[in-house]
Amino acid sequence: MQATISVERETDARLDRLSSSTGRSKSDLVRDALIVLEKAQSGASTGLSAFDLIGDLVGVGEGGPAELARTHKQAFRVLLQGRKTE
């Protein structure tokens, strides 16, 4: 079945951005959003993992020190040494 919806320009722009960044159609995005909203309204679990919820953000950072995950203690120590004490 086909349905037509009306949305504001800002919402349409959001759908365009999401569609482009995920490679999914606007229709797919709206269908999934309706399913998630319905489950949230009924108190049911969405079945989405933490990664599903933030997966679009994982690995998108640029810049910063290399190997920080391994050297974070050393980097923090250097940062603290640079602070002035009162």
Asked if 22 and 34 count as a contact pair (C-beta separation under 8 A), the reply is: no
What residue segments make up the domains of the chain, in order of their start?
9-81
Determine the 3-state secondary structure of 36 from DSSP: helix
- pLDDT for 79 equals 84
Query: Nearest to residue 21, comparing CAs of 48, 47, 55, 50?
Result: 55
Helical ranges in the chain per DSSP H: 9-22, 26-42, 50-54, 68-81
Across the chain, what does the average pLDDT equal?
83
Query: Which helix H or strand E contains 14, and what residues bound it?
Result: helix 9-22
Q: What is the pTM of this model?
A: 0.49
How big is the chain by its Cα radius of gyration, in Å?
A: 21
- pLDDT for 9 equals 95
pLDDT-flagged residues of the chain (< 50): none
